[in-house]
Amino acid sequence: MKRVKITVMRKSIYEDLIEKYENPIEHACDIEEGQVFIANGWEKPEGFCDSAWDTISPFVMTLAHGGEDIYDGWMKNKRSAMISCNDGFRPVSFLLETMDE
């Protein structure tokens, strides 16, 4: 099984949606742009957001098992994927890349 590099590419915050719809919360997301995590197959990297992992883990597993060309030519590098977490107020975009062993 291959390792997969997960790079935080972009973190957006939709203040207008937060103001209008979200109940106040003390803690939302610690992930920062530029952070890098390494996934060993199905194993969630230490310090990685549980909710984001639920969203991206199927793609990580596909790449870790040698899958390529997710969505038939969507990515220039067929051994990668750009996936965002499902937080509608603070979506985070992750670049997933299969690592050469």
**pLDDT for the residue 71:** 86
Q: Rounded to the nearest 5 degrees, what angle is found at the Cα of 76, between the Cα atoms of 58 and 54?
A: 15
pLDDT tens column, 35-81: 999 999 878 999 999 999 999 999 999 999 999 998 898 899 999 99
- 3-class DSSP state for residue 40? strand
Report the chain's mean pLDDT, rounded to a whole number. Answer: 93
**pLDDT for the residue 28:** 81
**pLDDT for the residue 54:** 94
> What distances in angstroms separate CA 67 from CA 80, 88, 97, 98, one per listed residue?
9, 28, 11, 9
- Count of domains observed in the chain: 1
**pLDDT for the residue 27:** 79
Check: CB of residue 64 under 8 Å from CB of residue 3: yes
Distance between CA 92 and CA 79 in Å, rounded?
A: 20
Name every residue whose Cβ is closer than 8 Å to that of residue 92 and which is 6 or more positions away in sequence: 8, 10, 11, 12, 29, 31, 49, 52, 84, 85
pLDDT at 19 > cutoff 90: yes
- 3-class DSSP state for residue 91? coil
Categorize the per-residue pLDDT at 101 as very low, low, confident or very high, splitting at 50, 70 and 90.
low
Q: Residue 27 is part of which domain span? A: 3-98
In this prediction the pTM is 0.91
